Every structure is written in structure tokens, then in C-alpha cells.
């Protein structure tokens, strides 16, 4: 049976359910006109506590985008010794194209270090571990799935390599390159627009999920 869904879903596809800032992992077991059947969501071996009629939000990662959806919990069942959660067919809340990343204005603590200019860095594997002990405290201006803008008191040039450490909320390290330099409103400070270099898609997905969570927090404050 061909169902016209607003998001591309496949059997055995992993989804992530967000509940009180905790991410529960699950896998799509079946999709039909009656709903979406997923393995019971767990986080560190702890099941999601939820009842029928509740609305849940979850992320689906596809080759083209990362989609935030919502569904209504229709019930629970067990098939072939697998505990299932039955959801209504998903409704899309947000969709971020991997090549058109939404940029979230946010001031948050970051750490950074400008790498020596005498070599080329393709990924974090090319960065000597000792450089991570030289990270300097600063703050961000905005962040997206493709890059981040930060404040520095050092002059850098376009094309320079910089490593950063951010919490999303897990601490992650990223290799970046400078794409633009702007004068900050503060004296002797600069805004650096950075592009992620050699980033793994699972790391990028964590950043995009962090952005969605912040948008979700903001929407709650505006209600």
C-alpha cells in the first residue's frame, strides 16, 4: 500500500523522540493507514513514560534533510516479543535542508583556538591533540548546521583554520575555517564567521537537533 506521507519514512529507520530535553531512540517497525509503529523508545535502557492521547515530537534524518515531526500516541502493543508504540501518521513541524541550514542567533559559551597557518587540515584527525589544551573561552553570535559565528580578540584571516568546542548539550569539538571577518561592536574584538570542515554527519545532526530544541524552548516562552 502506497501512503502519501509528508516525510520520507522507511522500515528500520531510526527516529529520535524528544521528551523533557531527553532524547529517546526508536526504530520504525511498520507504517500503514492505521499509523506508525515504532519500537518502544528508550534512553539508557529506560523506557519513555507516556500515555495514549499524548503528543510527542521526534526527529527523522533523511539523505536530504532533518525533519522535526509530531504525532499523537494511539496506544501500545506487542508483536513477536517486540514492545511497540503506535503513533498517528506524522505531521511535519520543521524541515531543515542540509544545504540550506537555518541560523539561530544565540549567545553561548564556546572555546576556540587558531591553528598554525603553515599546514592544511582536512579533519580533526589532522589536528595534534596538544592544541586542545590551548582553547580560549569566548561566546557565539549564532550557529547553524553549516557553521558558527564567534567573538574573538584576535585577528584571523579568511581561510585560517580554527578548532572550537561547544556544548549541544554534549561537548563536541569541530574543525572550522574562517569565511568572513567583521568588526565587533566591542573595542578590539572581532566576529568570525566559521564554516565546519570535515564534520561527521552525526555531529552535524546533534547541532541541528540542538537548534530545534532551542526553537522549541523559545516557542514555549511566546505562548
How do the domains of the chain map onto residue ranges? Answer: 14-97, 104-221
| pLDDT score of 215 | 76
The CATH number that domain 14-97 falls under is 2.40.10.220
Task: Report the predicted TM-score, pTM, of the whole model to 2 decimal places.
Answer: 0.64
Check whether 222 has a pLDDT greater than 50.
Answer: no
The CATH number that domain 104-221 falls under is 2.40.10.220
- For 169-192, what is the mean pLDDT? 91
Where b means 16+ CB within 10 Å and e means fewer, 32-53 reads eeebbbbbbbeeeeeebebeee
Q: Output 98 or 70, whichever has higher pLDDT.
A: 70
For residues 86 and 73, the answer to whether their CB atoms sit within 8 Å is yes
| pLDDT score of 176 | 96
For residues 112 and 153, the answer to whether their CB atoms sit within 8 Å is no
Lowest mean pLDDT among 15-29, 47-61, 116-130: 15-29
- For 140-155, what is the mean pLDDT? 92
- For 151-163, what is the mean pLDDT? 92
- Between CA 134 and CA 140, with CA 137 as vertex, the angle to 5 degrees is 125
- Residue 24, C-alpha cell as written in the block: 529517546
Q: Which helix (H) or strand (E) holds 111?
A: strand 109-114
The phi, psi pair for 185, rounded to 5°, reads -65, -25
For residues 163 and 131, the answer to whether their CB atoms sit within 8 Å is yes
Amino acid at each position: 500500500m502506497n501512503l502519501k506521507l509528508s516525510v520520507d519514512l522507511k522500515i528500520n529507520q531510526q527516529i529520535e523522540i524528544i521528551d523533557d530535553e531527553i532524547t529517546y531512540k526508536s526504530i520504525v517497525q511498520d507504517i500503514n493507514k492505521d499509523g506508525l509503529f515504532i519500537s518502544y523508545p528508550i534512553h539508557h535502557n529506560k523506557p519513555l513514560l507516556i500515555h495514549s492521547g499524548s503528543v510527542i515530537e521526534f526527529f527523522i534524518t533523511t539523505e536530504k534533510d532533518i525533519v522535526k515531526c509530531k504525532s499523537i500516541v494511539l496506544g501500545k502493543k506487542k508483536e513477536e516479543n517486540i514492545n511497540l508504540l503506535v503513533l498517528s501518521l506524522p505531521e511535519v513541524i520543521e524541515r531543515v535542508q542540509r544545504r540550506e541550514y537555518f541560523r539561530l542567533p544565540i549567545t553561548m559559551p564556546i572555546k576556540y583556538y587558531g591553528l598554525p597557518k603553515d599546514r592544511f587540515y582536512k579533519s580533526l584527525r589532522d589536528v595534534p591533540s596538544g592544541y586542545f589544551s590551548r582553547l580560549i573561552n569566548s561566546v557565539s553570535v549564532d550557529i547553524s548546521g553549516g557553521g558558527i559565528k564567534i567573538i574573538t580578540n584576535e585577528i584571523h584571516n579568511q581561510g585560517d583554520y580554527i578548532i572550537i568546542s561547544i556544548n549541544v548539550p554534549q561537548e563536541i569539538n569541530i574543525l572550522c575555517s574562517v569565511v568572513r571577518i567583521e568588526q565587533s561592536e566591542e573595542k578590539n574584538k572581532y566576529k568570525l564567521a566559521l564554516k565546519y570542515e570535515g564534520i561527521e554527519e552525526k555531529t552535524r545532526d546533534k547541532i541541528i537537533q540542538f537548534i530545534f530544541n532551542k526553537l522549541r524552548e523559545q516557542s514555549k516562552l511566546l505562548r
